[in-house]
Amino acid sequence: MAADPRRAVPRTDTVLDDPRLAGFPRDRARHFAREELERVRRGELAGADVVEAVARRFERARVVLNATGVVLHTNLGRAALSAAAVDAIVAAAGYTDVELDLATGRRARRGRDALAALAGAVPEAEGVHLLNNGAAALVLAATGLAAGREIVVSRGELVEIGDGFRLPDLLVSTGARLREVGTTNRTSLADYAAAIGPSTGFILKVHPSNFYQRGFVSAVPVGELAGLDAPLVVDIGSGLLRPDPLLPEEPDAATILRAGADLVTASGDKLLGGPQAGLLLGRADLVEALRRHPLARALRVDKLTLAAFAATLLGPETPTWRALRADRDTLRRRITALQRQVGGEIVDTVAVVGGGGAPEVELASVALALPAVLAESLRLSEPAVVGRVERDRLLLDLRCVPEAADKTVAAAILRCS
């Protein structure tokens, strides 16, 4: 007669009193313990492993293998950091020379290595600065250049991004007033010129990176806007620093600055492939004025971000760069090997850039189709394997999964099947 698995379930207070859980918040530990004890009752975990399972719940964020086919998945943290960036974060976790010149022993400019790396990557920028995200870069520009004044912007560029975040609300919160010009689908140079006056803080051009318009549409190029009598700020969004043949319609900082923009704002955790950060590049006087603005202190980045950002620019190709260029034949070979282990159907599919960038770009890819019922159990596995459900099928695309993790994906599928 089989032993009753409930006899292997330790008492909750026994788990909580284990020395390995000393120092953890008891209420949170009790919550985790109850969940892990339920796994023991279901036969998914050995009773002797409960304490270690509870301790692991405190150790770190849940590891996720991104098998969605979305390279910059916002809900999964956007860009995966390079090994160089991860090593830099570990090195910077202790004391570091973030604001100290070790040669002189005197205070130095904060994050000078990261800033030097950015300046070297975009020599077209006279000045550069880093903030904690792309929205922060735009907020600082609006506050420093247009508080109590007007920002001239096309109606067709007043975008909304994820979670109901609307650009007009952000800009108005800085104390600036919006001077909307043109229409939803067409804006001309004359529209901008007519709106410029003594109250103008700057002209803002926003790249609508998460949608596109076709048909009877028109927008004014940066080069033409640069000829107007007002500073020009361009938000390129996704953080591409130089032109990329794979993304021909995606604006890049170098080209926009050469076209005459005074300031460019962008994100660091999208196409750049780095940590969350806001990039501010352009005229030296404007960048320095914004760097010295009181609000800049509240928006500055920490030592870990600075270290990861410098390593991203100075290190080898990022996981984002590699995922965007993953070879379809290689993906098919990996998917075929996975199918031999777990079953399912091999299907041709399309991957996307994600992260609000390059919405028209489709990346030819290959996926393993499994029953949709496996989606939840794979998301809750350790590590979590996240795919996408289409037409009642779970599709697993290995484009963003390191090849070394293919065996882990297979093991998770076999456990959940």
Give the pLDDT confidence of 347-382 residue by residue, as tens digits. Answer: 999 999 988 777 788 999 999 999 999 999 899 887
pLDDT of residue 381: 83
Give the pLDDT band (50/70/90) at residue 110: very high
Residues 148, 175 contacting (CB under 8 angstroms): yes
pLDDT for res 209:
64
For residue 5, the model assigns a pLDDT of 54
162 vs 229, residue with greater confidence = 229
Rounded to two decimals, the pTM is 0.85
